[in-house]
């Protein structure tokens, strides 16, 4: 009987132990499941963050690729265009989120490197082009000078009026070609090509006028108090500059309108003022002209337009090299006013008119008792027109006058005072009346009349038969 309770007790103990074990196992399983769920949740969150990060990276990569395409397709072409035309804007970033980032810095570095490379290559190519043009223009200019000398010799050799007229026209045409070649060479850094002696400013201006078509429209007024002259080394550069300014004035004004030149003398120099009555220039055109006339050393041939306009550029190069100044502005007459300022030190001097008289073709200075004389240039290549070509209609040269000792104040040009008796003043005034402008046909006819008169005089003075119309010497 005693064994049954014990057995029951052992059974109860075993069941209790089993229940405890099962409870423990259940608790452990629930913990594992909770831990597994937390791990799964963390993994899901991590996967979600990774997916979001991958999405952001993909979007950033696409934006970067778009910026690179924008750089290659828009920014670099516009940069290349802006280097030739500064008014063209260069676009910025396509996406503002890249501003200040490493991507922005890398793209900016690419733009800078491309800009430097293009600028250096343009300068190299332009320098090579200028060197080629400089050599070619120097050779052509020398040949044109030889042709000019040959034509002038032929003008003295042949007496036939028709031949003389043809030679005069050929000489004037040669002068047009020479002016353009000379300006192109100066733009490319060539020397002007002529060496002259000290020349009166009035003679220089008349000589510059004679290089242009339409020279008969130019009216020169000499308001100088003294016989002001330009020193030898600056004569041709200033003549080129005045010629190009006159060419601009004649080209942009009607062929029936005059172009006026006024010579003024100041305390520290002299000025050549050119006024036209033409179409004028806009503010941006005046700004561009002043940039060319400033003589910037970095001037490129590609900046001169197509076809190249070398007039103002040549004047600017001479301004930089010789130290005078040029200014353009709207004229009070509606056109353009151009002023060439020549400093007295070191580009001006005063000549003694008794030792070196002024050409009869130059307008007389504006002095007390001596009226002003307008002048129109003749088509010759020299700085002052040939006296022979001007002989049929040239007024008598003024007689030499005595001068007092030069008087000079601080910063002023030397002053010489002319002393003339009243009778001489009246005679000078009688011979210096203003001459009407002459056309090329009238000039040629006067030249031909001079040649015929010369031939008739020689035939009357010598018993030999008249010479052959082909020349002064028979073959």
pLDDT digits (tens, 9 = 90+) for 403-453: 333 344 444 544 444 444 444 334 444 444 444 544 545 555 555 555 555
Confirm whether 10 is domain-assigned.
Answer: no
What is the reported pLDDT for 424? 39
What is the reported pLDDT for 75? 92
Confirm whether 71 is domain-assigned.
Answer: no
pLDDT in tens, 90-132: 999 988 888 888 889 999 999 999 999 999 999 999 999 999 9
* Phi (first) and psi of residue 404, to 5 degrees: -80, 170
What residues pair up with 325 in beta bridges, in sequence order?
341
Q: Between helices 102-157 and 76-84, what is the axis angle to 10°? A: 30
For residue 381, which of 243, 229, 241 has the smallest C-alpha distance? 243
What is the reported pLDDT for 386? 36
Strands 336-343 and 269-276: antiparallel
Looking at the predicted structure, is the pLDDT value of residue 335 above 90?
yes
Q: Got the DSSP string for 376-407? A: ---S-SSSS--HHHHTTTPPPPPPP--BPPPB
pLDDT in tens, 455-470: 555 555 444 444 433 3
Looking at the predicted structure, is the pLDDT value of residue 332 above 50?
yes
For residue 382, which of 134, 136, 151, 140 has the smallest C-alpha distance? 151
Cβ proximity of 178 and 239 under 8 Å: no
pLDDT in tens, 163-195: 989 999 999 999 999 999 999 999 998 988 777
What is the reported pLDDT for 293? 92
DSSP designation for 308: T
Instruction: Give the residue numbers spanning the domain of 310.
Output: 139-381+438-456
396: pLDDT confidence band, cut at 50, 70 and 90? very low
Q: What's the CATH code of the domain at 443? A: 3.30.565.10
Looking at the predicted structure, is the pLDDT value of residue 213 above 80?
yes
> Which residues contact residue 178 at a Cβ distance below 8 angstroms, ignoring those fewer than 6 apart?
141, 144, 145, 148, 381
What residues pair up with 200 in beta bridges, in sequence order?
229
Cβ proximity of 272 and 208 under 8 Å: no
Domain count along the chain: 1
| Alpha-carbon span 348 to 35, nearest angstrom | 104
Confirm whether 122 is domain-assigned.
Answer: no
Confirm whether 177 is domain-assigned.
Answer: yes
Looking at the predicted structure, is the pLDDT value of residue 383 above 50?
no
What is the reported pLDDT for 247? 94
Encoded tokens for 383: 């700085």
pLDDT in tens, 22-70: 777 777 777 777 777 777 777 777 777 777 677 878 888 888 889 999 9
| Alpha-carbon span 206 to 225, nearest angstrom | 18
Burial call 433-450: b when 16+ CB within 10 Å, e when fewer:
eeeebbebeebbebbbeb
Task: Name the residue with higher pLDDT: 37 or 147.
Answer: 147
19: pLDDT confidence band, cut at 50, 70 and 90? confident
Confirm whether 472 is domain-assigned.
Answer: no
What is the reported pLDDT for 458? 52
142: pLDDT confidence band, cut at 50, 70 and 90? very high
Looking at the predicted structure, is the pLDDT value of residue 73 above 70?
yes
Confirm whether 331 is domain-assigned.
Answer: yes
Looking at the predicted structure, is the pLDDT value of residue 9 above 90?
no
Confirm whether 52 is domain-assigned.
Answer: no
Strands 259-265 and 269-276: antiparallel
Confirm whether 243 is domain-assigned.
Answer: yes
| Alpha-carbon span 302 to 263, nearest angstrom | 35
């Amino acid at each position: 009987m005693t064994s049954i309770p014990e057995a029951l007790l052992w059974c109860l103990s075993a069941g209790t132990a089993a229940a405890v074990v099962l409870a423990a196992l259940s608790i452990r399983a629930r913990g594992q499941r909770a831990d597994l769920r937390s791990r799964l949740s963390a993994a899901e969150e991590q996967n979600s963050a990774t997916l979001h990060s991958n999405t952001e990276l993909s979007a950033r990569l696409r934006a970067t690729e778009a910026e690179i395409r924008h750089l290659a397709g828009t920014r670099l072409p516009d940069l290349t265009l802006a280097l030739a035309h500064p008014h063209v804007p260069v676009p910025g970033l396509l996406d503002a989120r890249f501003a200040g980032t490493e991507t922005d810095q890398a793209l900016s570095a690419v733009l800078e490197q491309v800009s430097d490379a293009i600028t250096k290559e343009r300068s190299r190519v332009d320098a090579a082009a200028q060197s080629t043009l400089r050599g070619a223009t120097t050779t052509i200019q020398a040949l044109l000078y030889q042709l000019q000398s040959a034509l002038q010799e032929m003008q003295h050799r042949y007496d036939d009026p028709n031949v003389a007229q043809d030679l005069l026209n050929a000489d004037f045409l040669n002068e047009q070609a020479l002016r353009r070649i000379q300006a192109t060479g100066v733009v490319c850094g060539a020397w002007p090509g002529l060496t002259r002696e000290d020349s009166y400013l009035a003679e220089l201006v008349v000589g510059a006028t004679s290089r242009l078509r339409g020279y008969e429209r130019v009216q020169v007024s000499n308001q100088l108090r003294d016989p002001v002259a330009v020193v030898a080394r600056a004569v041709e550069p200033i003549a080129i500059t005045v010629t190009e300014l006159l060419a601009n004035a004649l080209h942009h004004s009607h062929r029936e309108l005059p172009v006026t030149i006024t010579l003024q003398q100041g305390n520290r120099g002299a000025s050549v003022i050119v006024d036209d009555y033409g179409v004028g220039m806009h503010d941006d055109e005046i700004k561009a002209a002043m940039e060319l006339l400033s003589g910037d050393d970095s001037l490129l041939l590609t900046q001169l337009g197509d076809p190249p306009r070398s007039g103002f550029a040549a004047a600017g190069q001479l301004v930089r090299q010789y130290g005078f100044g040029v200014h353009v502005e709207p004229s009070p007459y509606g056109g353009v006013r151009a002023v060439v300022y020549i400093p007295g030190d070191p580009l001006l001097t005063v000549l003694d008119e008794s030792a070196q008289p002024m050409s009869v073709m130059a307008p007389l200075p504006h002095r007390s008792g001596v009226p002003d004389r307008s002048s129109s240039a003749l088509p010759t290549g020299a700085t002052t027109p040939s006296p022979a070509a001007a002989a049929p209609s040239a007024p008598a040269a003024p007689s030499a006058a005595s001068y007092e000792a030069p008087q000079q104040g601080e910063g002023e040009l030397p002053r010489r005072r002319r002393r003339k008796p009243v009778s001489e003043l009246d005679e000078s005034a009688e011979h210096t009346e203003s001459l009407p402008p002459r056309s090329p046909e009238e000039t040629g006819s006067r030249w031909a009349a001079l040649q015929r008169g010369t031939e008739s005089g020689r035939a009357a003075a010598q018993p030999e038969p008249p010479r052959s119309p082909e020349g002064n010497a028979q073959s």
